[in-house]
Amino acid sequence: MVLHIVATQMEASVIQVDDSRIHYSCFGHSALSGRLGFCGEIVEIFNHVYLLGNGARVYSSVLSRFVTPDELSPFSQGGVNAYAYCGGDPLNKIDPSGRFSIPLLGRLGYIWRISRASSMRADPVVFFGDGLAAGLARKKVFYVHAHGSPGYIKHGGADLSPSELALMIRGNPNTRSMLQEARRVQLIACHGADPGPNGLSFGRQLAVELQMPVTAYPGKAHARLSKDYERYFSGAAQLYRSYKYTKPSVYGSGGIYKRKVFRP
């Protein structure tokens, strides 16, 4: 086994291996590179391409562009140019997923900011059972926590539409009173901001149903839960608990997260 001493920059680009310095163009091209290159990504040294997002898309540092178009372009996070890398600004952005870029300075702090902004200290919490809960958090935020798919959330193994969720919330006297006190709604569920079969996201439709701003997240949303909360959240029976300092917090894999606010 051969060991090497490697030095990197803030964006994880390998700039030195043992005594050899490595220099990059602003779009990541280098005449001298090892297996790890620009932004710490694995590089194919013979044709200078990077397989970003675990092979989801091929980026060519020679061409300064992606070889394949972005599925999230032009109307979503991919941007207008389906082949652009980091929106044409690789000095201030990175694109580890190959799908959309994020601010370079936000790479380390984005998980903390999202987690802190989305932490819910709620008392009481209504546990509907089978992976659905709701509560009134600080700053009069009514949150809904569930498993989700594009256009729906899950409850008891079935798909729940925004109108069905609104009826459930208004049908429970506890959640109805919380909603009347709330100023906005936060949806902690996977794909809450992604378009459903009808072209509209669950968050957008819920905002119309409740006549209140709804914050939702695209893609996978992970909730950090206490053991007691998780037990009640996943329970089969419908429960109502005065559960002080319950704190589900949402975060994204690698800190790549953009929440969206939908208004009625």
Same domain? 95 vs 123? no
Residue 185 lies in a domain: yes
Residue 42 lies in a domain: yes
Same domain? 219 vs 188? yes
* pLDDT given for residue 129 in this prediction: 73
* pLDDT given for residue 104 in this prediction: 66
The helix (H) or strand (E) run that includes residue 116 is: helix 106-118
- Structural domains of the chain, count: 2
Same domain? 36 vs 115? no
- For the four alpha carbons of 211, 213, 219 and 220, in that order, the dihedral sign comes to negative
Measured CA distances, 93 to 19, 102, 106 (Å): 28, 6, 9
* pLDDT given for residue 225 in this prediction: 62
Residue 29 lies in a domain: yes
Same domain? 20 vs 117? no
Give me the residue label for tokens 């949806």: 187
Measured CA distances, 32 to 22, 141, 249 (Å): 6, 53, 43
Residue 129 lies in a domain: yes
Same domain? 131 vs 253? yes
The helix (H) or strand (E) run that includes residue 222 is: strand 222-224
Same domain? 97 vs 137? no
Same domain? 84 vs 156? no
Domain endpoint, select from 39, 71, 104 = 104
Domain endpoint, select from 42, 69, 104 = 104
Residue 1 lies in a domain: no
CA distance 120 to 118: 6
Same domain? 87 vs 129? no
Domain endpoint, select from 71, 104, 137 = 104
Residue 169 lies in a domain: yes
Same domain? 81 vs 116? no
Residue 237 lies in a domain: yes
- For the four alpha carbons of 131, 133, 137 and 141, in that order, the dihedral sign comes to positive
Same domain? 80 vs 148? no
- Which structural domain, as residue segments, surrounds residue 195? 111-262
Same domain? 89 vs 151? no
Same domain? 127 vs 221? yes
Give me the residue label for tokens 């193994």: 157
Residue 254 lies in a domain: yes
Blockwise average pLDDT, block size 10, the chain, 264 residues: 71 79 85 76 83 85 89 75 87 80 55 39 68 81 88 86 92 86 89 90 94 87 65 58 44 52 91
